[in-house]
Chain A
Amino acid sequence: DAGITQSPRHKVTETGTPVTLRCHQTENHRYMYWYRQDPGHGLRLIHYSYGVKDTDKGEVSDGYSVSRSKTEDFLLTLESATSSQTSVYFCAISEAGSNTGELFFGEGSRLTVL
């Protein structure tokens, strides 16, 4: 199994509080991604990174920011959590080259915003 660790795995927070989710990989893969998964919507890309300090927005990036200061770590921050951000968040990694669509996913972080 790919070495991807997400933390925390479960979190309950209140509206308006900041939240940071961490993704750590031991595979030295270039690309890292944050997805959210919601019933009726499937997996949607929030942000992704194609290298250290190189990040870009996905399709549902509003209200989220990311940082990647090291190859192995990709942080997702909710500056001021809202109930609409209650979801399961998955980090994924992939190698560079023609197989960049072959993603390896972390175990997920379930976030509840009250």
Chain B
Amino acid sequence: QKEVEQNSGPLSVPEGAIASLNCTYSDRGSQSFFWYRQYSGKSPELIMSIYSNGDKEDGRFTAQLNKASQYVSLLIRDSQPSDSATYLCAVNGNSGGSNYKLTFGKGTLLTMNP
């Protein structure tokens, strides 16, 4: 059974600070990794994808992947009230038939301190 683990939170950070969200996964053969953001009562939306070890930056967001440690993280710089949401980590399976099925973590709720 493939598993994706996230701290459920809530994670509370001051406005303007860096929010750090973490995710671990069990399938060592996983190839692709994603972060989705979900506002309360809304559908998930993709904010970052990462496919190789290291960092990937997109605006205020940075995704970090360490396949050896089976760990992926999301950093949000200059946190803003609009960042308050649940962040879902998702992992693709190995190639050979399961690479289009995502396994999602249960999500981390991020809230801002004014």
How far, in angstroms, from A90 to B34 measured CA to CA in the complex? 17
Interface centre among B51, B100, B101 (most CB of A within 10 A): B100
**Would you call B43 and A90 a contact (CB within 8 A)?**
yes
**Would you call B100 and A43 a contact (CB within 8 A)?**
no
B49 CB, min distance to chain A CBs, angstroms: 6
Q: Which of B13-68 contact A (CB under 8 A)?
A: 32, 34, 36, 42-46, 49, 51
Interface presence of A104 (CB below 8 A): yes
B53 CB, min distance to chain A CBs, angstroms: 17
**Would you call B45 and A100 a contact (CB within 8 A)?**
no
Interface size of A as a range: 20 to 34
How far, in angstroms, from A50 to B97 measured CA to CA in the complex? 10
**Would you call B43 and A43 a contact (CB within 8 A)?**
no
A31-B100, A45-B102, A94-B100 in contact; A100/B43 too (CB < 8 A)?
A: no
How far, in angstroms, from A50 to B100 measured CA to CA in the complex? 9
Interface presence of B72 (CB below 8 A): no
A31-B100, A48-B100, A48-B101 in contact; A43/B34 too (CB < 8 A)?
A: no
List, in ascending order, chain B residues with CB within 8 A of A58's CB: 101
- Sample 12 A-B pairs with CB under 8 A, ordered by A number: A42-B105, A43-B44, A43-B104, A45-B103, A48-B101, A98-B32, A101-B92, A102-B49, A103-B36, A103-B102, A104-B46, A106-B43
